[in-house]
Amino acid sequence: MLGGAGILLGVAAVPAQAAEVSYKTECIPPAASGLDPVEGTTKVEITAPATAKVGDEIEVVWKFVQAASKNPDLIVLPKDSVKPTGTLKASGAQTADIAMEGPQENPEIPKGGDMVLSDMTGKVKLTTAGDVTLTPDAYTITAYSTDTKCTPQEAVPAAATIKVTAAEGGSTTSGGSTSGGTTTSGGTATGGDTGGTTSGGSTTGGGTTSGGTTSGGTTSGGSTSGGDDGQTDFAGKTVATSFACTSPGPAKIDSSATINAKKNGGSYDLTVKTAEGVMNSPAPLPAGALKPSMVITVGGDDSGSLKVEGPANKDALNTGDPVSLGDMTGTYKPGADGKATLSPGDLTIVVTLSAGADPITIPCKATKTAVSLELDVQKQAGGVSGATTSGSGSSSGSSSSSSGGGLAETGANDHGGLRALGFVAGTAILLGGAVFIFLPHRRVR
């Protein structure tokens, strides 16, 4: 029970105390932003029981009275898009680092408006009789899956003192006066969501082997040539994929992909399907905000690469909604005779937060891939052999040089909103960057 007051768990309630302290704070923007640290003043109110006994587990509340800065005139922060975590230090008769965490709850914060952060709560079990003081320490603000870390730049005064008495009938020892079960707040960002992203082998497609899609297991032997037997549709096998994204993208994405082809004259119309629900939206995103593209690497007797593109999300997304990338399409024109292989390559996600805003390009280098489809092909004039087609930024076998490079090239100037940066509590958060919590890959649509 919060209500701005601490509670004593398992025993009768005792009078609570609340005290406000302020301290100079340095907030470090995300490294990818290229911004200098920001200094400001943090004001917080700590509420805790005035008295307790050894063995009691108490709950304390950290209320932000004033964040280190206002939201600048860059963007509107959506409702329920900002989450605080932090550390409250216990000292005196008992020493502990108390992990504090607040819910991802905030009103919509307008441009230039005051930052509104939710109250954080934490628990600690009291182990030693005496005065235990509580002092605010470092805290982290998470918005759009990007962490801003804020640390005190001066000695912070104690905000509350709990008078702890020995339990009746027992003696008090100082053994075990460390933090006991308290932990840091490390897992409060997105740890539980990203924990299980290994691809295992679950996406290898089981029975969707390529036996019938290559020349190996079909009745005519050369059925993938698209010529003699009239075959026009070629189904690829599902292959596991992994991507390393350039900041502010996620460090790793584990997914799967399938490349299918339909013969169109001497060329092939490609459709690339990826796993469903590989990411969650951390905040409301409008329809049309996310647009994927991928480089397809051509190998075997042919070589080069081509680009496939998918549609933007059709519907608006709420916080926590699963997100699936739309099917990506493109055309493969063979540049050589023989057997050509097609493999998923680098992935790019372009994020546009609002109408008229500059797009934010997140390139993701393919670190794990495999051949999804093999075709018997005939050379076509202007084919792909040894070249890159459809404006892709990488050549055969290369990766992650596509689509405009880093965020410094999004077209913004200094304080402009088009730089895709917003200040939160005296820090910068990257908008539209690592905006997703990536989950273990799901089945391919």
* pLDDT tens for each residue of 52-91: 999 999 999 999 998 877 765 566 778 888 899 999 999 9
pLDDT of residue 6: 36
At 229, list the tokens: 């037997």
pLDDT tens-place string over residues 97-154? 999 999 999 999 787 778 789 999 999 999 999 999 999 999 998 876 777 888 999 9
Q: Which of 73-87, 273-287, 301-315, 428-442 has the lowest mean pLDDT?
A: 428-442
Mean pLDDT for the chain? 73
Q: Which of 208-212, 288-292, 335-339 has the lowest mean pLDDT?
A: 208-212
Quick check: helix, strand or coil at residue 206? coil
**Mean pLDDT of the 185-197 span:** 36
pLDDT tens-place string over residues 22-63? 999 988 866 655 567 888 999 999 999 999 999 999 999 999
Q: Which residue has the higher pLDDT, 30 or 232?
A: 232
At 42, list the tokens: 């943090």
* pLDDT value at 20 more than 80: yes
Q: If you ran DSSP here, which 8-state letter would residue 277 be given?
A: T
Rounded CA separation 265/333 (Å): 10
pLDDT tens-place string over residues 299-350? 999 999 999 999 998 988 887 788 788 999 999 999 999 999 999 999 998 8
Rounded CA separation 368/72 (Å): 41
Phi, psi dihedrals of residue 163, rounded to the nearest 5°: -90, 110
Angle at CA of residue 171, ends 170 and 175, nearest 5°: 125
Rounded CA separation 40/29 (Å): 13
Going through 265-412 in order, the beta strands assigned E by DSSP cover 267-274, 279-280, 290-300, 304-309, 322-323, 328-332, 338-351, 360-368, 373-377, 387-388
Rounded CA separation 390/392 (Å): 6
Rounded CA separation 149/29 (Å): 7
**Mean pLDDT of the 202-208 span:** 36
pLDDT of residue 324: 84
* DSSP per-residue codes, 24-53: EEEEE--GGG-PPPEEEEEEEEEEEESEEE
pLDDT of residue 75: 67
Amino acid at 121: T
pLDDT tens-place string over residues 354-375? 777 778 888 999 999 999 999 9
* pLDDT value at 434 more than 70: no
* pLDDT value at 208 more than 90: no
CA distance to 152, 158, 269, 391, per residue, from 21 (Å): 12, 8, 65, 57
Site of tokens 């092909």: 377
pLDDT of residue 327: 94
pLDDT of residue 253: 80
pLDDT of residue 74: 61
pTM: 0.46
Q: If you ran DSSP here, which 8-state letter would residue 231 be given?
A: -
Contacts of 343 (CB under 8 A, 6+ apart): 239, 259, 296, 297, 299, 369, 370, 371, 372
* pLDDT value at 172 more than 60: no
**Band of residue 249 on the pLDDT scale cut at 50, 70, 90:** low
pLDDT of residue 369: 95
Percent pLDDT > 90 in the chain is 41
